[in-house]
Amino acid sequence: MSPSATSMNRQVWALAWPMLLSNITVPLVGLVDSAVVGHLDDPKHLGAVAVGAMLFTTIYWAFGFLRMGTTGLVAKAYGRDNDAQNKTLFAQAGVLALILGLGMWLLQQPLLTLGLNWMGPEASVHSTAREYSDIRIFGAPAALFNYVLIGWFVGNQNTRVPLILLTVINLINLVLDLIFVMGFGWGAGGVAAATICAEYSGSILGLYLALRMVKQLEGDLNREALTHLKGYSDLFQVNKYLFVRTASLLFMFAFFTAQGARLGTDTLSANALLLNFLMLISHALDGFAHAAEAVCGRYAGAGQRDKFYEAVKACTRWSIVFSLLLSLIFVIGGQQILRLMTDIESVLAVADEYLPFIWLLPLIAVWSYLQDGILVGTTQSKAMLKIMLITVFVTFLPVWWFTTDLGNTGLWIAFLAAFVARAATGFVIFKRFDRDGVWFRA
C-alpha cells in the first residue's frame, strides 16, 4: 500500500471511529428499550414501542435531509475555506429544523392518527402505541435540531463532538428508561418520556459546543440569507430530493412493520427485535459512510481528484472489514442477543426462524451505506432519489407482492432484495458519474 493510501486510511479512520462508537450507541439504546419492555408481563408493550418507534423513525427521518444536506454543503464549504458560508448554513439549517419541529407539534393529532391507523396494529397494541406517541411528539424540535448539529460538525471534519452528543443523549435515555419503566412502572409511555428528555439535553449541549466553534470561524454570517427565502436556495435544491428519497426509504420500513403487524403480535414483536440488529448494522457502517461524506465532500469541493478517489478506496476497505465482522458476530451470538432482549418464548421462536436473514444483511447492505456517504458528501441528492425509487417501487414492493403467500418469509426476501437493488443501482450511477466527472461540478 502506498504512503498516500496509508495516510488516507488513517484520516478516514480518525473520522470514522468516533461516529462508529456514537452510532452504535443508538441501536444499543433501542435494544435497551426493547429489553426493558420485553420483560414486562404483557407483550403489548413491546409491540407498542416497536410500532411507535417505527412511526417516529419514519416521521423524523423523512426530515433526515437536515443532517445529510447540511453535511454535504458544509463539507464543500470547508473544502473551499468559505467560513462565512459555513456559518450561514448552520444558522439556516437550524431555523429550518425548528420551524419543521414546531409544525409537527401543531399537526400532531392528524399526523399520529393517520400514522397509527395505517400501520394497523391490534387494538391493545394500538392504544398503548398512541400513549407512547402522544408523549414522544413533544421532542420533535429537539430531534430535528440534533440532525442539524451532527450534520454540521461532520461537514466540518469534526466527528468527536457528535460522539459526545450521541453518547450523552443515549446514556440519559438509557438511565431514564430504567427509572421511568422499571422504577415508576410507566410502561411504553416511560420509554417515550425518557427519549424526549434525552433529545432536549443533547440539543442544549450541542448548541453550546457549536457556538464555541462558530466563534473560531472567520467571515461574517449572511443575515440577509437568513431572513429571505431566496437565501435558502442551496439547502432547498439539495434537500428536496433527499426529502423524497428518505420518505421512500422509510415508507419501505413502515410497510415492513405494518405487514408484520398484520401477521400477529408475535411476528410484529419478533420483526421488531430483528430490526434492532439492522439498526446496529446501519449505524456501525454509517460510521464509515459519515467519514466518506466528510472527506469526499471536502476533496470534491476543493477539486482534488486524486485525494477524492483515495478517500473512496479507503472508505471501501474499512466498510468491507466491518461488514464481515458484523456478520460473524450475528452468526455466533445472534440467539444470545435475542434472549437478552426478551424472554417471551413465542416471540423468540419466530425471531430465531428469521435470524439467518440478519446474517446476510451486513454483506449486502454495506455497499448501500458506502454509496450514500459518497453521494451525500458530494451533494448528489438527485441520484440518491433515483436509487431509492428503484429500490422501493421497482424491487421491494413487486418482490413482496409475488411472495405474499410465504408470509413473513416473503417479507424478508423482499427486504433483502431491496438492498441488492440499491447496491447495484448505486454502482451503475457511480460508474457513470466517474466517467462524466460529475463529482467535481459546483
Model pLDDT for residues 62-112, shown as the tens digit of each residue: 788 888 889 988 998 888 889 998 999 999 999 999 999 999 999 988 988
| Model pLDDT for residues 297-325, shown as the tens digit of each residue | 899 888 888 899 999 999 999 999 999 99
Res 211: pLDDT:
94
Cell 448539529, residue located = 149
Average pLDDT over residues 360-371: 94
Q: Are 344 and 338 in contact (CB under 8 A)?
A: no
In the three-class reduction of DSSP (H, G, I as helix; E, B as strand; rest coil), residue 80 is classed as: coil
pLDDT above 60: residue 363 = yes
Q: What is the 3-state composition of the chain as percent helix, strand, coil, each rounded to the nearest 5?
A: 90, 0, 10
Residue 355: which H helix or E strand, with range? Answer: helix 345-377
pLDDT band at 207 (very low <50, low <70, confident <90, very high): very high
Average pLDDT over residues 177-193: 84
Res 174: pLDDT:
84
What's the burial of 333, exposed, middle or buried (CB within 10 Å: 0-12/13-18/19+)? exposed
Half-sphere exposure of 373 (CA within 13 A, CB side): 34
Q: Cell digits for 254? A: 413502515
Residues in the chain, overall count? 442
pLDDT band at 435 (very low <50, low <70, confident <90, very high): confident
Res 427: pLDDT:
94
pLDDT above 70: residue 27 = no
| Model pLDDT for residues 120-170, shown as the tens digit of each residue | 677 777 888 888 889 999 999 999 999 999 999 999 999 899 989 988 988
Res 402: pLDDT:
95
pLDDT above 60: residue 385 = yes
Res 233: pLDDT:
77
Res 155: pLDDT:
92
% the chain with pLDDT above 90: 41
Please tell me the distance from the alpha carbon of residue 281 to that of residue 364, in angstroms, as a whole number: 11
State the CB neighbour count (10 A cutoff) for residue 365.
Answer: 22
Left if phi > 0, otherwise alpha if psi is -120 to 50, otherwise beta: which for 185?
A: left
In DSSP notation, 183-208 reads IT--THHHHHHHHHHHHHHHHHHHHH
pLDDT band at 41 (very low <50, low <70, confident <90, very high): low
| Model pLDDT for residues 244-282, shown as the tens digit of each residue | 898 888 789 878 988 888 888 888 888 888 888 887 888
Average pLDDT over residues 405-412: 94
